[in-house]
Amino acid sequence: MDSLMARSEESLLAEAKAGSRESLGDLLELFSNYLHVLAVGQMGRRLQTRVSTSDVVQETFLEAHQGFPQFRGTSVPEFYAWLRKILVNNLHRAIEMHIGTQKRDLRREVSLDALAHSLDQSTTRLDAILPDRELSPSRAFAHHELQLQIANTLAQLPPDYRYVLILRHLESMPFEEVAKRMERSVGAVRMLWLRAIEALRHEWKGGSSA
C-alpha cells in the first residue's frame, strides 16, 4: 500500500506534467494534510482567529494550479519543495495583512526568509514526531513519503491533540510556551500531550497495519 502511494504520486506528477488538470488536482489533494500541519505550526492563535488554515491551504492550491505550467521540476520531492515555497509566501502575506500592520516589531520577526527557515525546520522534524521508533513502517520510506503519512495520521486526531503535538514537536516549544499558545495551564497541556501521544500511537498502529 505504501509503495502504491509512492507510485501514484510519481504517476500523477507525470500525468500533470503532460497536461492533465485532473491528475494535478488529485496530486494536490494528497498533500492537503501535509500543508495543513505545516501551516498550523506557523499560525498563532491570534492569526487563526482572523484567517483559517484551510483558507491559506486553499489559496496555495489555487496558486499551484495556476502556476503549474511554470513548475520546472520533474520529481515528487521537487514538487514538495515548490508547494512549501508557495505556502510560505501565503503565510507571510496573511501575517503581514492581519498582524504585521499592527505590530511593527512582529513584522520584523516574520520576514519571508525567517518564515521559510522556520517552516523548513518544522518539515525536518515531522518524521521525528512518532512516539516510538518501533512504530516506523516495516518498509523503508523515502523521507517525504513518511512525512506525508504522518501528516495524514495527525489529521485523524482531535484538533487539540493535533495542535499540541505540532507545537511541541514540529515547533520544538517548551511546555510553558505551548501552554501560553493554547491558553491552558502547563499541567493541563502536559496531560493533553500525553493523551495526544497515546492517540497518535493508536492511529499509527492502525494505519500501518492496514
Average per-residue pLDDT in the chain?
Answer: 79
* Digit-coded pLDDT (tens) for 104-162: 444 444 455 665 666 666 665 666 666 554 444 444 445 667 778 888 889 999 999 99
- The radius of gyration of the chain's CA atoms, rounded to the nearest angstrom, is 18
Position 45 scores a pLDDT of: 65
Residue in this structure with the C-alpha cell 491558553, named with its chain if needed:
183
- Report pLDDT for 140: 41
Residues 6+ apart with CB under 8 A from 60: 35, 83, 86, 87, 90
Residues above pLDDT 90, as percent of the chain = 38
171-200 pLDDT tens trace? 888 999 999 989 999 999 999 999 999 999
Look at 43 and 74; give whichever has higher pLDDT.
74
> Looking at residue 188, what is its pLDDT?
96
Cβ atoms within 10 Å of 33's Cβ, excluding its own: 20
Number of domains in the chain: 1
Give the whole-number percent of the chain exceeding pLDDT 70: 70
Q: Which domain holds residue 189?
A: 2-208
Measured at the alpha carbon of residue 25, what is the angle toward residues 21 and 31, in degrees to the nearest 5?
145
Cα 75 to Cα 19, 94, 123, 197, distances in angstroms: 16, 29, 18, 33
Predicted structure pTM score: 0.73
